[in-house]
């Protein structure tokens, strides 16, 4: 298989760091950069695959929302009751991964 040359430009300090890392890994710069790019591409592919269903769901929701009417002259929402405020705070705490003591589960204070 024929190889293709790709030219890149780096700041001097970036180039030096790449050379140093390549040497420590026992690789030439070209092999090191190919290895790093290949790892990054595999990681990106895995993430895209993992979230493909969510992305499709979002796309369907956005498409469905395009046909909905937009209410421009609606009245502002009334203030939340104390109970509604607590419910919102609890929901946000769950989304943020915090327990009722404002700590992330599995982490010490």
Which DSSP string do the residues of 21-79 spell out, in sequence order?
HHHHTT--HHHHHHHHHHHHHHHHHHHHHHTHHHHHHHHHHHHHHHTSPP-SSPPPPPP
Looking at residue 108, its pLDDT comes to: 52
pLDDT over threshold 90, residue 74: no
Q: From 90, 86, 87, 82, select the one nearest 98 (Cα to Cα).
A: 90
Residues 35 and 18: beta-carbon distance below 8 Å: no
The string of pLDDT tens digits covering residues 1-33 is: 899 999 999 999 999 999 999 999 999 999 999
Measured distance CA(18)–CA(9) in Å, rounded? 12
Q: What is the mean pLDDT of residues 80-86?
A: 86
Residue count of the chain? 109
Measured distance CA(21)–CA(6) in Å, rounded? 20
Q: What is the mean pLDDT of residues 60-73?
A: 80
Q: What percent of the chain has pLDDT over 90?
A: 48
Angle at which helix 29-50 crosses helix 52-66, to 10 degrees, equals 60
Mean confidence (pLDDT) of the chain: 85
Looking at residue 89, its pLDDT comes to: 86
pLDDT over threshold 60, residue 100: no
């Amino acid at each position: 298989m024929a190889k293709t040359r790709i030219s890149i430009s780096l700041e001097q300090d970036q180039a030096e760091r790449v050379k140093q890392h390549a040497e420590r890994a026992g690789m030439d710069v070209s092999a090191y950069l190919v290895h790093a790019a290949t790892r990054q591409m595999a990681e990106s592919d895995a993430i895209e695959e993992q979230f493909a269903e969510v992305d499709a769901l979002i796309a369907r929701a956005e498409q469905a929302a395009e046909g909905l009417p937009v209410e421009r002259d609606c009245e502002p929402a009334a203030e939340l009751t104390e109970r509604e405020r607590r419910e919102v705070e609890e929901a946000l705490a769950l989304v943020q991964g915090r327990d009722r003591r404002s700590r992330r589960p599995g982490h010490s204070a």
